[in-house]
Amino acid sequence: MTKLYFYLDEPGAEIWQPAFEAAMPGVDYRPYPHWGSPDEGPAYLFAWEPEPGLVAKYPNIKAIFSLGAGVDHLTRDPDLPTDIPIIRMSDDGLKEGMAEFVLMTVLMHHRYMPRMIASQQKREWRRLFPPLASEVRVGILGYGALGKVSAAALKPLGYQVAAWSRSEKEPEHGVEHFTGTEEFEAFLARTDILVGLLPSTPETTNLLNKDTMSLMPKYASIINVGRGTLINLGDMVDLLDDGHLSAATLDVFVKEPLDQESPLWDHPKVIITPHIASITRPKSAAEYVARNIERIEKGLQPENLLDRYRGY
Ligand code: NDP
Ligand code: OXD
């Protein structure tokens, strides 16, 4: 019988149990702290941000399923054993949710909604006339599972979509592609609305700073749904205040929840959402985990295995 440990850093473990029981009939589902002894035999772990040191106490864990597409909530544990395979979430629900959120926020930036909301708060009747979607250049940082579905959602509206990633890609679906550090500046220079969909790694940390964001056209805007480490927020606020950038929507932060004292909450050009751009949904996630446990048990490589060297 498959044993599945479950760890969530907030309440809600009970809504997952029926989904796992439906996807894996007979599963021995054990939400934390009811994991039992590690001597009871092998187990898989499905987790979001387990407390540091916990996983190391359970050498019976065969593989960890990240509840999210990102893995930084796991790998920041200094005691995490380096030999446990980690499988990233990439189920259909996560992709659909992200495509919706990116489409919504790109439309909001394109149609000047942050400025409309700021005007409303001042009771100001201020008419602004946006360009057509076909005149707006959207740039997606990261062209993986979520970058691709987001690009596909934007294209039918006519946006000029480009994407940037580490490795070269075949041109597809009319999305212009930029590769690596050599093409980063050209990518920024052609981007009016930038969507951050990168994992947190040493290479992506602080990638958007005063120098790089200044390369974007005047009145460009930023939507960050990847990880908070991407942006130097102090530099971003300076560029919003001096008018170089026109707006930012931020869904992810280095420290979550965002501090109560953060000046970002009140910034008239900033929209904050609490890491909900996309969420992992029990039914499709449980099916994804079940499918991958079956692969592991058959000796096959699971889908979306973390490459620890690349960091994603
Ligand atoms: P993928 O691994 O499928 O894609 C990652 C993309 O980033 C790839 O295109 C990769 O390039 C690119 N990339 C990574 N490092 C670099 C680099 N140094 N330079 C250029 N490109 C780089 O991940 P997903 O699309 O599934 O998820 C992306 C991120 O979104 C997650 O890591 C997570 O942090 C975040 N996320 C946020 C959510 C939210 O609710 N806010 C929800 C889900 C995910 P290449 O193609 O060449 O490998
Ligand atoms: C994430 C997620 O990795 O929610 O942020 O999937």
> Are 116 and 162 in the same domain?
yes
> Are 198 and 239 in the same domain?
yes
Beta bridge partners of 208: 231
Pocket test for ligand 2, best of 278, 288, 306 (most atoms within 8 A of CB): 278
How confident is the model over 125-152, as a mean pLDDT? 98
**Percent of all residues in the chain with a pLDDT value above 90, rounded to a whole number:** 96
pLDDT recorded at residue 173: 86
Task: Check whether 162 has a pLDDT greater than 90.
Answer: yes
> Are 87 and 98 in the same domain?
no
Task: Check whether 17 has a pLDDT greater than 90.
Answer: yes
> Are 35 and 53 in the same domain?
yes
Q: Is residue 80 part of a domain?
A: yes
How confident is the model over 146-172, as a mean pLDDT? 96
**Is the CB of 68 inside a 6 Å radius of any atom of ligand 2?**
yes
Which residue, by CA, sits nearest to atom 4 of ligand 2? 68
pLDDT recorded at residue 304: 97
Rounded Cα distance between 24 and 1, Å, is 10
**Residue 307 vs residues 75, 199, 303: alpha-carbon distances, Å:** 12, 12, 11
> Are 85 and 125 in the same domain?
no
Which tens digit of pLDDT belongs to each residue from 270-284? 999 999 999 999 999
Which tens digit of pLDDT belongs to each residue from 238-274? 999 999 999 999 999 999 999 999 999 999 999 999 9
pLDDT recorded at residue 13: 85
Q: Distance between terminal CA atoms of the chain? A: 30
Kindly identify the ligand whose nearest atom is closest to the C-alpha of 67: 2
> Are 38 and 120 in the same domain?
no
Task: Check whether 12 has a pLDDT greater than 90.
Answer: no
How confident is the model over 148-162, as a mean pLDDT? 98
pLDDT recorded at residue 170: 86
Model confidence band, residue 6 (pLDDT cutoffs 50, 70, 90)? very high
Residues with CB under 6 A from ligand 1: 68-70, 90, 94, 98, 142-147, 165-167, 197-201, 203-204, 225-227, 251-252, 275, 277-278, 312
Task: List the structure tokens of 175.
Answer: 């999305």
Q: How many separate domains does the chain show?
A: 2
Q: Is residue 160 part of a domain?
A: yes
Pocket test for ligand 1, best of 65, 197, 227, 275 (most atoms within 8 A of CB): 197
Which residues contact residue 131 at a Cβ distance below 8 angstroms, ignoring those fewer than 6 apart? Answer: 110
How confident is the model over 171-193, as a mean pLDDT? 96
> Are 242 and 147 in the same domain?
yes
pLDDT recorded at residue 137: 99
Alpha-carbon torsion (197, 202, 206, 207), positive or negative: negative
How confident is the model over 67-95, as a mean pLDDT? 96
Q: At what angle do helices 92-110 and 145-154 cross, to 10 degrees?
A: 50
Which residue, by CA, sits nearest to atom 4 of ligand 1? 144
pLDDT recorded at residue 172: 84
- Whether the ω angle into residue 257 lies within 30 degrees of 0, i.e. cis, is yes
Side chain identity at residue 44, one-letter code: Y
> Are 218 and 258 in the same domain?
yes
Q: Is residue 13 part of a domain?
A: yes
Task: Check whether 3 has a pLDDT greater than 90.
Answer: yes
How confident is the model over 43-67, as a mean pLDDT? 98
Average pLDDT of the chain is: 97
Instruction: Quote the pTM value.
Output: 0.97
Give the strands of the sheet with 3-7, arranged side by side: 28-31, 3-7, 43-47, 61-66, 86-87
* Domain hosting residue 246, numbered range: 93-272
> Are 157 and 100 in the same domain?
yes
How confident is the model over 295-308, as a mean pLDDT? 97
Residues labelled as active-site residues:
227, 275
Quick check: 229 and 254 in contact, CB under 8 A?
yes
Q: Read off the CATH number of the domain in which 83 is found.
A: 3.40.50.720
pLDDT recorded at residue 171: 79
